[in-house]
Amino acid sequence: MFVDSHCHLNFPQYAETLDQVRADMSAAGVDRALCISTTLEEFPQVHALAMRYDNMWATVGVHPDNEGVQEPTLGDLLERATLPRVVGIGETGLDYYRLGERSVADMEWQRERFRVHIRAALQTGLPLVIHTREASEDTLAILREVGQGKVRGVFHCFTENEAVARAALDLGFHISFSGILTFKNAGDLRDVARMVPIERCLIETDSPYLAPAPHRGKLNSPAYVSLVARQLAELKGMDADELGRITSNNFEELFSLVRTSPRVSPAHQ
Protein backbone atom coordinates (compact mmCIF):
# COMPACT_ATOMS: atom_id res chain seq x y z
CA MET A 1 0.00 0.00 0.00
CA PHE A 2 2.77 2.47 1.00
CA VAL A 3 6.37 2.81 -0.19
CA ASP A 4 9.19 4.32 1.84
CA SER A 5 11.13 5.97 -0.98
CA HIS A 6 14.16 6.91 1.16
CA CYS A 7 15.64 5.13 4.17
CA HIS A 8 18.99 3.98 5.57
CA LEU A 9 18.38 0.49 6.91
CA ASN A 10 22.06 -0.40 6.68
CA PHE A 11 22.82 2.01 9.54
CA PRO A 12 23.95 0.40 12.81
CA GLN A 13 20.73 1.35 14.61
CA TYR A 14 19.04 -1.54 12.76
CA ALA A 15 21.79 -4.15 13.02
CA GLU A 16 19.91 -6.24 15.58
CA THR A 17 16.32 -5.29 14.77
CA LEU A 18 15.88 -5.60 11.01
CA ASP A 19 13.48 -8.54 11.29
CA GLN A 20 11.27 -6.49 13.62
CA VAL A 21 11.53 -3.47 11.31
CA ARG A 22 10.29 -5.58 8.43
CA ALA A 23 7.46 -7.03 10.52
CA ASP A 24 6.43 -3.51 11.54
CA MET A 25 6.46 -2.44 7.90
CA SER A 26 4.15 -5.28 6.96
CA ALA A 27 1.77 -4.49 9.82
CA ALA A 28 1.60 -0.84 8.73
CA GLY A 29 0.95 -1.68 5.09
CA VAL A 30 4.41 -0.55 3.95
CA ASP A 31 5.31 -3.07 1.29
CA ARG A 32 8.52 -1.65 -0.22
CA ALA A 33 11.54 0.50 0.65
CA LEU A 34 14.42 2.14 -1.21
CA CYS A 35 17.71 1.90 0.69
CA ILE A 36 19.92 4.90 0.03
CA SER A 37 23.70 4.92 -0.26
CA THR A 38 25.64 7.78 1.36
CA THR A 39 29.23 6.54 0.80
CA LEU A 40 30.96 4.10 -1.50
CA GLU A 41 32.31 2.35 1.59
CA GLU A 42 28.79 1.50 2.79
CA PHE A 43 27.39 0.67 -0.64
CA PRO A 44 28.05 -3.10 -0.31
CA GLN A 45 25.83 -3.19 2.79
CA VAL A 46 23.11 -1.13 1.10
CA HIS A 47 23.20 -3.35 -1.97
CA ALA A 48 23.17 -6.50 0.16
CA LEU A 49 19.83 -5.46 1.65
CA ALA A 50 18.36 -5.05 -1.82
CA MET A 51 19.68 -8.43 -2.89
CA ARG A 52 18.44 -10.15 0.25
CA TYR A 53 14.87 -8.79 0.28
CA ASP A 54 12.50 -8.77 -2.68
CA ASN A 55 10.78 -5.62 -1.44
CA MET A 56 13.93 -3.48 -1.16
CA TRP A 57 16.06 -1.68 -3.74
CA ALA A 58 19.29 0.34 -3.60
CA THR A 59 20.92 3.49 -4.90
CA VAL A 60 24.60 4.34 -5.31
CA GLY A 61 26.03 7.69 -4.33
CA VAL A 62 27.97 9.80 -1.83
CA HIS A 63 26.13 12.29 0.37
CA PRO A 64 27.30 15.90 0.06
CA ASP A 65 27.96 16.13 3.81
CA ASN A 66 30.37 13.19 3.88
CA GLU A 67 34.01 14.23 4.00
CA GLY A 68 37.06 12.03 4.47
CA VAL A 69 35.47 9.23 2.44
CA GLN A 70 36.28 7.73 -0.95
CA GLU A 71 35.55 10.39 -3.53
CA PRO A 72 33.33 8.91 -6.27
CA THR A 73 34.55 8.98 -9.83
CA LEU A 74 32.18 8.68 -12.76
CA GLY A 75 33.51 5.17 -13.30
CA ASP A 76 32.79 4.21 -9.68
CA LEU A 77 29.16 5.22 -10.02
CA LEU A 78 28.66 3.72 -13.48
CA GLU A 79 30.14 0.38 -12.42
CA ARG A 80 27.92 0.02 -9.39
CA ALA A 81 24.86 1.28 -11.24
CA THR A 82 24.97 -1.82 -13.46
CA LEU A 83 24.42 -4.14 -10.50
CA PRO A 84 20.99 -5.73 -10.10
CA ARG A 85 18.45 -3.85 -7.99
CA VAL A 86 20.36 -0.56 -8.15
CA VAL A 87 17.70 1.85 -9.37
CA GLY A 88 18.99 5.36 -8.62
CA ILE A 89 22.01 7.66 -8.31
CA GLY A 90 22.51 9.39 -4.98
CA GLU A 91 21.94 10.58 -2.41
CA THR A 92 23.66 13.58 -3.92
CA GLY A 93 23.31 17.34 -4.02
CA LEU A 94 24.59 20.29 -1.99
CA ASP A 95 24.54 21.17 1.69
CA TYR A 96 25.79 24.51 2.98
CA TYR A 97 24.28 24.12 6.45
CA ARG A 98 27.55 23.18 8.16
CA LEU A 99 29.98 25.61 6.55
CA GLY A 100 31.65 26.49 9.84
CA GLU A 101 34.64 28.70 9.05
CA ARG A 102 34.34 27.98 5.34
CA SER A 103 32.70 30.07 2.65
CA VAL A 104 30.36 28.91 -0.10
CA ALA A 105 33.30 29.34 -2.49
CA ASP A 106 35.23 26.76 -0.44
CA MET A 107 32.57 24.14 -1.24
CA GLU A 108 33.56 23.69 -4.86
CA TRP A 109 34.54 20.11 -4.04
CA GLN A 110 30.91 19.48 -3.10
CA ARG A 111 29.63 21.05 -6.31
CA GLU A 112 32.04 18.97 -8.39
CA ARG A 113 30.90 15.80 -6.59
CA PHE A 114 27.33 16.74 -7.49
CA ARG A 115 28.29 17.20 -11.15
CA VAL A 116 29.82 13.72 -11.21
CA HIS A 117 26.56 12.23 -9.96
CA ILE A 118 24.53 14.13 -12.55
CA ARG A 119 26.81 12.83 -15.31
CA ALA A 120 26.28 9.29 -13.99
CA ALA A 121 22.53 9.79 -14.12
CA LEU A 122 22.78 11.08 -17.67
CA GLN A 123 24.80 8.07 -18.81
CA THR A 124 22.74 5.43 -17.02
CA GLY A 125 19.29 6.97 -17.36
CA LEU A 126 18.72 6.36 -13.65
CA PRO A 127 16.97 9.00 -11.53
CA LEU A 128 18.86 11.26 -9.14
CA VAL A 129 18.07 11.36 -5.43
CA ILE A 130 18.70 14.99 -4.50
CA HIS A 131 19.62 16.36 -1.07
CA THR A 132 19.71 20.15 -0.78
CA ARG A 133 20.00 22.21 2.38
CA GLU A 134 20.56 25.96 2.39
CA ALA A 135 21.93 25.54 -1.14
CA SER A 136 18.87 25.44 -3.38
CA GLU A 137 20.03 28.18 -5.76
CA ASP A 138 23.27 26.36 -6.59
CA THR A 139 21.54 22.97 -6.62
CA LEU A 140 19.08 24.12 -9.26
CA ALA A 141 21.74 25.99 -11.26
CA ILE A 142 24.01 22.95 -11.49
CA LEU A 143 21.10 20.70 -12.40
CA ARG A 144 20.26 23.03 -15.28
CA GLU A 145 23.89 23.43 -16.33
CA VAL A 146 24.98 19.77 -16.28
CA GLY A 147 21.66 17.97 -16.56
CA GLN A 148 20.48 20.11 -19.46
CA GLY A 149 16.89 19.08 -18.83
CA LYS A 150 17.70 15.44 -19.49
CA VAL A 151 17.84 14.08 -15.94
CA ARG A 152 14.93 13.08 -13.72
CA GLY A 153 14.70 12.25 -10.07
CA VAL A 154 13.41 13.39 -6.72
CA PHE A 155 14.13 16.18 -4.25
CA HIS A 156 14.05 14.06 -1.12
CA CYS A 157 12.96 15.16 2.37
CA PHE A 158 11.80 18.45 0.92
CA THR A 159 12.04 21.44 3.28
CA GLU A 160 12.45 24.34 0.84
CA ASN A 161 9.93 27.00 -0.14
CA GLU A 162 7.29 27.01 -2.84
CA ALA A 163 9.55 28.75 -5.37
CA VAL A 164 12.14 25.98 -5.09
CA ALA A 165 9.44 23.33 -5.35
CA ARG A 166 8.08 24.92 -8.53
CA ALA A 167 11.57 25.12 -10.00
CA ALA A 168 12.18 21.44 -9.24
CA LEU A 169 8.83 20.51 -10.78
CA ASP A 170 9.67 22.58 -13.88
CA LEU A 171 12.86 20.52 -14.23
CA GLY A 172 10.73 17.36 -14.21
CA PHE A 173 11.59 16.24 -10.68
CA HIS A 174 9.37 14.66 -8.06
CA ILE A 175 9.07 16.03 -4.52
CA SER A 176 9.30 13.68 -1.54
CA PHE A 177 7.85 14.52 1.86
CA SER A 178 9.09 13.07 5.15
CA GLY A 179 7.95 13.06 8.76
CA ILE A 180 8.78 16.75 8.97
CA LEU A 181 5.39 17.28 7.34
CA THR A 182 3.76 16.25 10.65
CA PHE A 183 5.77 18.64 12.86
CA LYS A 184 3.78 21.42 14.53
CA ASN A 185 6.10 24.14 13.20
CA ALA A 186 5.98 22.92 9.59
CA GLY A 187 3.02 24.99 8.42
CA ASP A 188 4.93 26.50 5.49
CA LEU A 189 5.97 23.03 4.32
CA ARG A 190 2.38 21.85 4.51
CA ASP A 191 1.44 24.75 2.23
CA VAL A 192 4.06 23.56 -0.26
CA ALA A 193 2.70 20.02 -0.04
CA ARG A 194 -0.79 21.25 -0.88
CA MET A 195 0.64 22.89 -4.02
CA VAL A 196 2.69 19.98 -5.40
CA PRO A 197 0.60 17.87 -7.82
CA ILE A 198 -0.17 14.48 -6.34
CA GLU A 199 1.25 12.74 -9.41
CA ARG A 200 4.65 14.25 -8.55
CA CYS A 201 4.64 13.37 -4.83
CA LEU A 202 6.58 10.67 -3.03
CA ILE A 203 6.64 9.82 0.67
CA GLU A 204 9.59 8.73 2.79
CA THR A 205 10.94 8.42 6.32
CA ASP A 206 14.69 9.12 5.91
CA SER A 207 15.04 6.54 8.70
CA PRO A 208 16.67 6.53 11.18
CA TYR A 209 16.09 10.29 11.25
CA LEU A 210 13.05 12.57 11.49
CA ALA A 211 10.41 10.28 12.99
CA PRO A 212 6.95 11.78 12.43
CA ALA A 213 4.58 12.81 15.20
CA PRO A 214 3.71 11.23 17.58
CA HIS A 215 7.14 9.52 17.50
CA ARG A 216 9.21 12.67 17.02
CA GLY A 217 12.63 12.39 18.66
CA LYS A 218 12.61 8.58 18.58
CA LEU A 219 14.23 6.13 16.18
CA ASN A 220 12.42 6.31 12.87
CA SER A 221 11.20 3.28 10.93
CA PRO A 222 9.87 2.69 7.41
CA ALA A 223 6.60 1.63 9.06
CA TYR A 224 6.05 5.27 9.98
CA VAL A 225 5.79 6.33 6.34
CA SER A 226 2.11 5.47 6.77
CA LEU A 227 1.87 8.47 9.13
CA VAL A 228 3.45 10.71 6.50
CA ALA A 229 0.90 9.38 4.03
CA ARG A 230 -1.99 10.18 6.34
CA GLN A 231 -0.77 13.75 6.84
CA LEU A 232 -0.27 14.30 3.12
CA ALA A 233 -3.66 12.75 2.36
CA GLU A 234 -5.31 15.15 4.79
CA LEU A 235 -3.63 18.09 3.06
CA LYS A 236 -4.80 16.79 -0.31
CA GLY A 237 -8.33 16.09 0.89
CA MET A 238 -8.19 12.44 -0.03
CA ASP A 239 -8.18 8.98 1.51
CA ALA A 240 -4.82 7.73 2.80
CA ASP A 241 -5.17 4.42 0.96
CA GLU A 242 -5.73 6.27 -2.31
CA LEU A 243 -2.73 8.47 -1.63
CA GLY A 244 -0.70 5.35 -0.95
CA ARG A 245 -1.76 3.87 -4.27
CA ILE A 246 -0.87 7.03 -6.20
CA THR A 247 2.49 7.62 -4.52
CA SER A 248 3.36 3.94 -4.96
CA ASN A 249 2.61 4.25 -8.67
CA ASN A 250 4.74 7.39 -8.79
CA PHE A 251 7.59 5.47 -7.18
CA GLU A 252 7.28 2.62 -9.67
CA GLU A 253 7.26 4.95 -12.64
CA LEU A 254 10.18 7.10 -11.47
CA PHE A 255 12.42 4.16 -10.62
CA SER A 256 11.24 2.00 -13.53
CA LEU A 257 9.97 -0.82 -11.37
CA VAL A 258 7.36 -3.42 -12.23
CA ARG A 259 5.16 -4.32 -9.26
CA THR A 260 4.39 -7.81 -10.52
CA SER A 261 8.09 -8.66 -10.91
CA PRO A 262 9.96 -7.86 -7.69
CA ARG A 263 13.33 -9.01 -8.99
CA VAL A 264 14.43 -6.12 -11.19
CA SER A 265 16.58 -7.05 -14.17
CA PRO A 266 18.97 -4.60 -15.86
CA ALA A 267 16.45 -4.33 -18.70
CA HIS A 268 13.97 -2.75 -16.29
CA GLN A 269 16.44 -0.18 -15.02
List, in order, residues 6 or more apart from 74 with CB less than 8 Å away.
116, 119, 120, 123
Rounded percentage of the chain residues whose pLDDT exceeds 70:
96
Of 260 and 21, the one with more pLDDT: 21
Average pLDDT value over all residues in the chain: 95
Q: Could you tell me the CATH number of the domain that includes residue 70? A: 3.20.20.140
* pLDDT value, residue 50: 98
For residues 196 and 165, the answer to whether their CB atoms sit within 8 Å is yes
Read off the pLDDT of residues 110-169 as tens digits, 9 standing for 90 and up. Answer: 999 999 999 999 999 999 999 999 999 999 999 999 999 999 999 999 999 999 999 999
Structural domain that includes position 49 = 2-268
For residues 230 and 240, the answer to whether their CB atoms sit within 8 Å is yes
**258 band by pLDDT with thresholds 50, 70 and 90:** low
pTM equals 0.94
How far, rounded to the nearest angstrom, does the alpha carbon of residue 137 sit from its chain's CA centroid?
Answer: 19
How many independent structural domains does the chain possess?
Answer: 1
Nearest C-alpha neighbor of 155 from the set 138, 139, 134? 139
* pLDDT value, residue 267: 35
Read off the pLDDT of residues 5-57 as tens digits, 9 standing for 90 and up. Answer: 999 999 999 999 999 999 999 999 999 999 999 999 999 999 999 999 999 99
Nearest C-alpha neighbor of 61 from the set 135, 98, 113, 137? 113
